Structure formats: C-alpha cells, structure tokens
Amino acid sequence: MSRSNPRVLSTLERAGGFASAQEVYRLMQREGESIGLTTVYRSLQSLVNDKIVDVLRRDDGEAIYRLCGDAHHHHLVCKGCGDTVEIEGGAIEKWALNVAKDHGFREVGHTAEIFGLCSKC
Amino acid sequence: MSRSNPRVLSTLERAGGFASAQEVYRLMQREGESIGLTTVYRSLQSLVNDKIVDVLRRDDGEAIYRLCGDAHHHHLVCKGCGDTVEIEGGAIEKWALNVAKDHGFREVGHTAEIFGLCSKC
DNA sequence: TCACAAATGAAAATGATTTTCATTTCCATA
DNA sequence: TATGGAAATGAAAATCATTTTCATTTGTGA
Ligand SMILES: [Zn+2]
Ligand SMILES: [Zn+2]
Ligand SMILES: [Zn+2]
Ligand SMILES: [Zn+2]
C-alpha cells in the first residue's frame, strides 16, 4: 500500500462536499498541478483505508469521496427546477442508528434525500 | 422504451434475493435460455422504471436487482456480505414530509438507505 | 556514493454498462 | 392473406470508471 499524496487530500478539501476520483483529478489539472490519475485513485483508496474520507456511490455507480469531518447533512431537491436546500438530518440520524443497532449492525452509515416540487414550480 | 422480457423477471424471481444483470444473464444461459445480454439490461431497467424491482449497488459498484414488494420500505444493507433487511420507514416518513412542508415543497418523495457491517461480518 | 524500497504515472487491461444498427418478430389494417 | 410500420432483439463496438503492469523516478539510510 502506498501512502496518500497530500495534494489529493488538499484538493478534496477544497472541492467541498463529495467529489469523484475523476473530478479530483480534473480539478488538479485545471489548477496546473502535475499528478497522474493512478496516484489520485491510490491516494483516495489510502485515505479511505485510514478512515480519513468516506466513500459512497452515485446513482450511476461512480465512487464519490468526502472528508469524514465535513458536516453531515442531507438534501431537499426540487424535481422541477433543481433547486437544492441543505437540511439537517435531525430525526433520521437516530432512526438510522437505532434500526442498525436493532439488527446488530456496526460501522453504520446512511443516505437520505427528499425530493418534490418547490413553491415556484 | 422497450418492455421487459418476461423471462428476465421470471429468472430474477428464481434467483431469490439480489442478482446483477450479468448474473441473471449467466443463469439464463446455464438454463439453456436464448437471450442477449442487451435485452437483460433493458428488461431490468424497464422493471426498475415500473417499480417492479429495486436496484442497489454492490460495494464494487455493480448494480444489483431484486423483486420488491409494493409496500414502501427501506433497506439495511451489509457492506460485507450484501445481506439485506427490509425495514419500515417509521420516523423517516414523517421527517421527510415535515422537512418538505417547512420549505413549501409538494409532491414529496424520498430515498433512504442504511448500510453497515452485519454481526456475521 | 550506493543500494534498495517506496512512489509515480503512462499505457494497457478489465469489466460493467450503453449505444449502434441491422435483423427479426408483432400487429393492425387493407 | 398480404403488407407496412412499430417494437423487440442481440451481436458487436463504444464508453467509461477503475485496476493492473511495469519501467522510471525519488527519497533515504548506510
Ligand atoms: Zn422548483
Ligand atoms: Zn444523516
Ligand atoms: Zn454481512
Ligand atoms: Zn420511506
């Protein structure tokens, strides 16, 4: 296993929220950083192993990474215009933990998203 | 949009639990059915559109499909072995509705999934 | 300086999924 | 029954994220 290239972590921080390996790579290129795609993948994997970043999957299957420390939140998305509101998890956080615990699961995570039509649509 | 080939649904039933498109295809081949991989993919997509099957992602990103009861529910999935527990929404249903209403949204829906490591993993 | 391990990245390989497109199957209507 | 167009089919090619290979570079301690 190789160690993570610090510039990858720094770029993921700067990206804010979730970013895929490809996006991190493109972002670094755009900023003139010289790095190989392979190193981006290896670094992100390493950061996941070290539990410094979280990894999820987009609907299309692409892996997306995010700093674990980032404030956890969810989204309320308008199906019409795409407007998005960041919302606190609130009740759902406890619900997810309780359900998981009831079934003997550990290292628990969750995803949740609300969608509908906003007042303008 | 094409309609689902009924043999695909029948095979997915027989598979029990989750199966990927590739697995459904291999299973049909092994049973001597003549079908193209493309048709398997198209049929599964169509079944998802019609909400007859659920689709999730394995940790490696491969899409897996499964027959889904009509009742609205959520899933608790083991990241290790893929075991899945169907769970009632409970608290999350109200949470989603309330959050949406607070922001003036209507025609509200939501997605939620819990994942972790089961007691056997 | 030397030797050796770790890091790097270009290019090829992998593997799931999608797209293309020519062919076949259905089906309604004349 | 014949026929024309729509829908379904599937083989092959294309796509695209991710992994693997492997030769080269870099870092580090003796
Ligand atoms: Zn809107
Ligand atoms: Zn949450
Ligand atoms: Zn498990
Ligand atoms: Zn629900």
Among the residue ranges A12-16, A78-82, B20-24, B76-80, the one predicted with the least confidence is A78-82
Res B82: pLDDT: 72
Find the CB nearest A114 among B78, B100, B119.
B100
Instruction: Determine the nucleotide nearest to B55 by Cα–C1' distance.
Output: C17
Q: Which residues of the protein are close to the nucleic strand D, CB under 7 angstroms?
A: A 20-22, 37-38, 41, 45, 62-63; B 1-3, 5, 34-39, 42-43, 61
pLDDT-derived band at B35, boundaries 50, 70, 90 = very high
Task: Give the residue-averaged pLDDT of A92-104.
Answer: 94
Task: Report yes or no: A120 and A81 within 8 Å, Cβ to Cβ.
Answer: yes
Res A1: pLDDT: 64
Straight-line distance from CA B50 to C1' D2, in Å?
37
Residues 6+ apart with CB under 8 A from B32: none
Q: B86 by DSSP, 3-state: which?
A: strand
Task: Give the residue-averaged pLDDT of A39-48.
Answer: 97
Straight-line distance from CA B3 to C1' C28, in Å?
19
Task: Give the residue-averaged pLDDT of A91-118.
Answer: 91
Mean pLDDT in chain B? 90
Task: Give the residue-averaged pLDDT of A37-64.
Answer: 94
What proportion of chain B, given as a percentage, has pLDDT over 70? 97
Q: Which residue has the higher pLDDT, A37 or A90?
A: A37
Whether residue B2 is predicted with pLDDT greater than 90 in this model: the reply is no
CB-based contact (8 Å) between B91 and chain A? Answer: yes
Res B58: pLDDT: 86
Long-range Cβ contacts of A28-32 (<8 Å, 24+ apart):
none
Task: Give the residue-averaged pLDDT of A113-121.
Answer: 88
Residue A87 CA to ligand 2 centre (angstroms): 9
CB-based contact (8 Å) between B35 and chain A? Answer: no
Mean pLDDT in chain A? 90
Report DSSP letters for A1-66, one per residue: -PPPPHHHHHHHHHH-S-EEHHHHHHHHHHTT----HHHHHHHHHHHHHTTSEEEEE-TTS-EEEE
Task: Report yes or no: A89 and B110 within 8 Å, Cβ to Cβ.
Answer: no
Distance CA A121, CA A78 (A): 8
Whether residue B43 is predicted with pLDDT greater than 70 in this model: the reply is yes
Task: Give the residue-averaged pLDDT of A100-118.
Answer: 90
CB-based contact (8 Å) between B27 and chain A? Answer: no
Distance CA B22, CA A22 (A): 26
One-letter amino acid at A105 equals: F
Res B1: pLDDT: 63
Task: Report yes or no: A115 and A79 within 8 Å, Cβ to Cβ.
Answer: yes
Q: A101 by DSSP, 3-state: which?
A: helix
One-letter amino acid at B15 equals: A
CB-based contact (8 Å) between B86 and chain A? Answer: no
Nearest to A47 by CA among A16, A3, A106, A11: A3
Best mean pLDDT range from B35-49, B50-64, B102-116: B35-49
pLDDT, tens digit, for every residue of B80-118?
777 788 888 878 999 999 999 999 999 898 889 898 889
Q: Which two tokens stand for residue A83?
A: 């407007």
Please report the beta strands in A47-93, taking only residues with DSSP state E, as ranges in sequence order. Answer: 53-57, 63-67, 74-78, 84-87
Distance CA A100, CA A108 (A): 7
pLDDT, tens digit, for every residue of A59-81?
899 999 999 876 788 888 887 77
Q: Which residue has the higher pLDDT, A110 or A80?
A: A110
Task: Report yes or no: B38 and B25 within 8 Å, Cβ to Cβ.
Answer: no
Best mean pLDDT range from A4-8, A14-18, A83-87, A108-112: A4-8
Task: Give the residue-averaged pLDDT of A12-32.
Answer: 94
- The minimum CA-CA distance between A27 and chain B, rounded to whole Å, is 23
